[in-house]
A and B are shown apart, each in its own frame.
Chain A
Amino acid sequence: MVLAGVSVLVFSLIHLVKGDPVRLALGTRYSQEAYDALRARNGLDLPLVEQYVTWAGRALTGDLGVSFRSGEPVTALIGERLGATLTLAIAAILLALLIAIPLGTISALRPRSAVDRIATVISQIGISVPDFWLAIVLILVFSGTLGWLPTGGYVPITEDPVEWARRLVLPAIAVGVVSGSVITRFVRSSVLEALGSDHVRTAQAKGLPARQVFSWHVLRNALLPLVTVTGVQLAYLLSGVVVVEIVFSWPGLGQLALQAVQARDYPVLQGAVLLFAVIFLLINLLVDLLYTRIDPRIRR
């Protein structure tokens, strides 16, 4: 239902543009034949409702029209770049979890300690730093001054795994830092809440060893809701990916979308926007499903 609405919105994009999008894209020098062919190929010569039905029908079969610029199928253009974007998004969220879970847990176990205060300050700043600015600073420090890592670009893992990893580190940090900060704060409050709950007190009163109480009663309960938060963060993180890709010349969907905006290549923009929305909705669906599976209270 939401997806249908989303598709209408994405479809409307090209029609909301002032003027004739095909004419805008082709510039001043083009033949009438080329113009007609482009309109026909993207279904723009049909009545509006018919256009939508045709467009949506084709989209369902994986045909998103052709680029105004290169004439290549949009699906192919997107396919080339999907891998790079997903790699970056997944690396970023893993990095965020890797830092946030231990940091948040330690903060909660030693509230008001030095570690807790430092973690709070870092996560507070982490939420406030623009990811693309962090990207620039990272490039300046690690590529410029220290010369440890390349400034950008992407190498497929199949070609050169080491180079792939070296090029992934900085963009993943830049994208992951906001999510990492949010998740750290969440883990901290979640563990604190679990520590104060009745069943933990009961377990302690029974004389269970502290380690067992912690791993069985505190962590399990505190980290359950983390699934939802991580999913939500993964979805939000896509926004950061769009901008950070530009800074690191990362050949992903974000870069494709921006290039399409600059080139007035509306079918490509439509395709990229639609795909991002589909990924976003899929993540949310997955989170819902996963959550009902792991939380017995909801299953009933």
Chain B
Amino acid sequence: MTAEPLPVEPVPSRPARPRWRETLVLLARNPTALAAAVVLLAIVVVAVFDQTFAPYPANEQDIGNRLRPPSWEHPFGTDNLGRDILSRVIIGASVSLKVGFLSVGLALVAGTLIGLLAGFYGRWVDDTLMRLMDMLFAFPAVLLAIAILAIRGPGTTNTIIAIAIVYVPIFARVTRASVLGVREEVYVRASRSVGASDFRLLTRHVLPNAAPPIIVQTSVSLAFAVLAEAALSFLGLGTQPPNPSWGSMLAEGREFIEQAWWLAFFPGIAIVVTVLCFNLLGDGLRDVLDPRQRTLMAGGGR
């Protein structure tokens, strides 16, 4: 009796990871997404070097020059205390972006971890974690943030925490759904069969392949985080005066809307442009990374 060699199963080839260079090239071919990325980059640069770009100190008052319409000295005009609105919009950009990036960053880390564990382990881990997420998800986003700020008190740091908590369930859901799709792939099972640890499976195979929807969600969430920060500061719960934030500038400008439209106009435009760019970039990323999700996400929302 001759021992026949066991049939050798072909080793699954390298999983189809998102290839970063390819993604960037594809993204650059989409003129809208490219334009959005360029504008965002410009906003980020201005926000990082805000002190250099701002022509005047943000809180410098000049009562003799209050409520001046846009001019060469003050391209966006001055507010009720004679402060330069352009400078305040620029400094406000750094506040808005800081809150946006930090809150979404926190939500991304926590939400992805929760979604990863829930999707990968399933059963009671999944049930417990996702029911907890459902509870947080049952509150209207802004109201939940308001309630958190009511507990912790107003301020920029607490705003970051509040927005982060609001977005954790969204990242958890997106990650979990994506992980469920990846979990049973051949390369994951193959890796498990050769004795890879859970940690290795999660970090080497599951997370990289589940990443595309999470990346798209990050861009979209940044848009809404900027909106949420503006809303909370507008309500007087976020960034506290005299420090400028786009939302608090809108609140101040609202009182002078009849005499001086520019007070509320320019911070509003700044919000619209920033949020629009994050959304357009998100759409572009979705087209490249995750085409199947397009119709699905169009029905989503915040």
Contacts and interface: CB of A to CB of B under 8 A. Distances in A.
Contact of B264 (A2, A6, A136, A258): A136
Interface string B241-259: 0000000001001100110
A243 B235 contact: yes
A280 B140 contact: yes
Interface in A184-209: 185-186, 189-190, 193
A221 to B, nearest CB: 13
Contact of A140 (B142, B149, B261): B261
Contacts of A262: 236
B132 interface: yes
B150 A261 contact: yes
A290 interface: no
B141 to A, nearest CB: 5
A232 B301 contact: yes
B45 interface: no
Contacts of A169: none
Interface centre among B136, B144, B299 (most CB of A within 10 A): B299
Given A128-B272, A130-B268, A261 B149 contact: yes
B257 A239 contact: no
A253 B275 CA distance: 27
Main secondary structure of the interface of A (DSSP, over half): helix
Contacts of B144: 273
Interface stretch (A9-17, A34-42, A63-71, A156-164): A9-17
Interface in B9-24: none
B300 interface: yes
A229 interface: yes
A225 B300 CA distance: 12
A277 B138 contact: yes
22 contacts: A2-B134, A5-B131, A6-B138, A16-B151, A17-B150, A18-B153, A124-B279, A124-B280, A125-B272, A127-B279, A132-B231, A136-B254, A137-B265, A140-B261, A182-B299, A225-B299, A236-B140, A242-B140, A242-B146, A264-B150, A266-B150, A277-B139
Q: Identify the 9 closest CB pairs spanning chains A and B, nearest first.
A: A5-B135, A128-B276, A128-B275, A133-B268, A238-B140, A239-B140, A239-B142, A229-B299, A261-B150
Given A261-B146, A273-B147, 15 more contacts: A2-B134, A124-B276, A130-B230, A130-B234, A144-B257, A182-B299, A182-B300, A189-B294, A189-B295, A225-B299, A228-B299, A229-B299, A273-B143, A276-B143, A277-B139
